[in-house]
């Protein structure tokens, strides 16, 4: 990956809808060259999707929370398919520490969140929940350096 690839990645992280023409202008190479580079980055798995950022509150999901779950290793076989089937679970990660899983969830109300937590506790065990009051840094991409001396 060279500095042009890194610049393309940075630009797409800021605006995934940027046109080939806009990217071409920023990178000082032709639109077909940009398209070829993006295609190469997609095939390599560097770019694995294009997403819209949605304001969850504006579509009725007023409660955002992080739920930690203490699982036994044998429970993962049942837990993973279950949480994948719940659309309110927007992310789930296996982590270190006292709790083995942490989920980010969104719900219309605290009552809906409470119902979900009760199901998780009954099926899988101990949880710890933190409700989000505000967010100082929204999810964002990672800025890649464009230094000429960065390894390719």
Q: What is the pLDDT of residue 150?
A: 47
DSSP count for the chain of H helices, then E strands = 5, 4
pTM flag (> 0.85): no
SS3 48: coil
What angle (nearest 5°) sits at the alpha carbon of residue 43, between those of residues 39 and 48? 90
Strand partners of residue 105? 65, 89
57 backbone dihedrals φ, ψ, rounded to 5°: -65, -35
Q: What is the pLDDT of residues 103-119, one digit of tens each?
A: 999 999 999 999 999 99
């Amino acid at each position: 990956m060279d500095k042009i690839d890194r610049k393309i990645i940075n630009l797409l992280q800021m605006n995934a809808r940027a046109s080939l023409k806009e990217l071409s202008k920023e990178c000082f190479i032709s639109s077909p060259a940009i398209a070829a580079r993006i295609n190469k980055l997609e095939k390599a798995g560097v770019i694995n999707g294009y997403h819209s950022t949605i304001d969850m509150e504006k579509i009725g999901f007023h409660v955002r929370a992080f739920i930690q779950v203490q699982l036994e290793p044998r429970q993962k076989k049942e837990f993973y398919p279950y949480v994948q089937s719940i659309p309110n679970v927007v992310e789930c990660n296996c982590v270190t520490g006292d709790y083995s899983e942490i989920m980010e969830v969104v719900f219309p109300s605290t009552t809906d969140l409470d119902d979900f937590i009760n199901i998780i506790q009954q099926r899988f065990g101990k949880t710890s929940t933190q409700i989000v009051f505000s967010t100082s840094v929204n999810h964002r991409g990672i800025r890649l350096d464009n230094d000429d001396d960065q390894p390719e």
